[in-house]
Amino acid sequence: MAMHAYKSAPATKPTDADVADDMSPFLRRYKDGRIERLMVSSFVPPSEAPGATGVATRDVVIDPVTGVSVRLFLSLGAVATDKRLPLIVYFHGGGFCTGSAFSNVFHRYATSLSACAGALVVSVEYRLAPEHPIPAAYDDAWAALRWVASMADPWLADHADHRRMFLAGESAGGNIVHNMALRCATREGDEIDLDVEGIILLHPYFWGSERLPSETDRHDGPMLAPEFVDTLWPFLTAGAAGNDDPRINPPADQVKSLPCRRALVAVAAKDVFRDRGRRYASWLRHGERCGEVTLVESEGEDHVFHLHRLVRASAVALMDRVVRFVDGWAAPAAGAKETELLRQCRTTHLDEWQDNMAGNAKLASASIGLELGRASSAKLVQKGPFARAARERTVAKSCL
């Protein structure tokens, strides 16, 4: 199968004078054109033998010319129920310039998502900047969605419920979700049967030239400095666009007019992007075109924390929340306090689970307690058919 070859490194030890663009922590571009990616995760081959995870995987090349591909994740336990499975089209993060659907970190997360949600997950391998500047990633994502809509693949045809399609992604992937949902709404002349049930944006990468409070507050020491983020979008677009480009800084009217049945937006309390995510969810809520909007905040965490320690209690809580969203369950809001806050959770059997995960062994179940708090600064969480009522605590299970 075709894969994008992005990993590279200088043949000799570089000096500062050799560097044309230092985009740490993602990559460095050298004056001779070489690219050194700094966040490298090992390649994981697909396997239709599910092994201990219970999830079979298979790769499909959609376009041999561009190299856009997908990896499918099929929960065989869910298949055994003889029911059609929810379909999740997943776009990985990595700042549009690093990461791969075939890398260990995103393969592991998609496996967990498939196992926990009992879903067929389609993880998209899209082209990266700077070799392929924006809009290449959007074009590849759209090509993948068109392929999914065709239901030509046997796994999709035999197992997927096209009426329960979700678009999901974290960071840059969350940004792609928004832009694909927008394109689905306009179709831009495409006649395809693409019916999206819900969108899931985890720590979405949105930005702008005007600072929001979370972009000026250095108290929590965010993982990504605002000054660095200022330089990222112009770099990704090869200088063709600035930080007020509507693809990275969607205007309020555009978000409010986005038609979607359901939306889940997750932010992390220490993330430099958190106020962008909160505002996005608030605009969706007040636009009256999205039937149900949920905003989830993970207390004490930073950007995409859930990818790197799947057994961390807060990561388990976030996965459980995503699974309940896919299942159609939503926590009711309490009065005017409308942000669902995932506080520190109690998790049992974590040591056993970590041992199982380290070596791609059996994915264990962990029982957790979720404390659902209500953040005073929030403007929304739930809109929909669920009655508003106080709910202080719920207990969920995870099968990451």
Model confidence pLDDT, tens digit, residues 136-163: 999 999 999 999 999 999 999 999 999 9
pLDDT in tens, 65-121: 999 999 999 999 999 999 999 999 999 999 999 999 999 999 999 999 999 999 999
pLDDT in tens, 209-229: 999 999 987 665 668 899 999
Question: What was the pLDDT predicted at 376?
Answer: 28
For helices 104-117 and 313-327, give the axis angle rounded to 10 degrees.
Answer: 50
Question: What was the pLDDT predicted at 190?
Answer: 64
Out of 4, 92, 159, 303, the active site residue is 303
Sorted by sequence, the CB contacts under 8 Å of residue 348 that are 6+ apart come out as 366, 367, 368
pLDDT in tens, 63-73: 999 999 999 99
Distance CA 222, CA 264 (A): 23
pLDDT in tens, 295-339: 999 999 999 999 988 888 999 999 999 999 999 965 544 333 346
pLDDT in tens, 240-256: 999 999 999 999 999 99
Confidence of residue 380 (pLDDT cuts 50, 70, 90): very low
What DSSP string runs through 142-195?
HHHHHHHHHT-SHHHHHHEEEEEEEEEEETHHHHHHHHHHHHHHHGGG------
Q: Is the dihedral of CA 376, 329, 301, 366 positive or negative?
A: positive
Active site includes 303? yes
Distance CA 275, CA 211 (A): 10
Out of 153, 271, 302, 320, the active site residue is 271
pLDDT in tens, 27-80: 899 999 999 999 888 999 999 998 889 999 999 999 999 999 999 999 999 999
Question: What was the pLDDT predicted at 375?
Answer: 31
Reading the block at residue 184, the tokens are 């689905």
Asked if residues 37 and 8 have their Cβ atoms less than 8 Å apart, the reply is: yes
Active site includes 271? yes
Query: Structure pTM?
Result: 0.82
Distance CA 113, CA 118 (A): 8
Higher per-residue pLDDT: 260 or 277: 277
Asked if residues 284 and 258 have their Cβ atoms less than 8 Å apart, the reply is: yes
Of the listed ranges 126-130, 294-298, 392-396, the one predicted with least confidence: 392-396
Give the DSSP letter of residue 307: G
Out of 171, 214, 282, 398, the active site residue is 171
Please name the amino acid found at residue 397. Answer: K
Q: What is the mean pLDDT of the chain?
A: 81
Active site includes 92? no
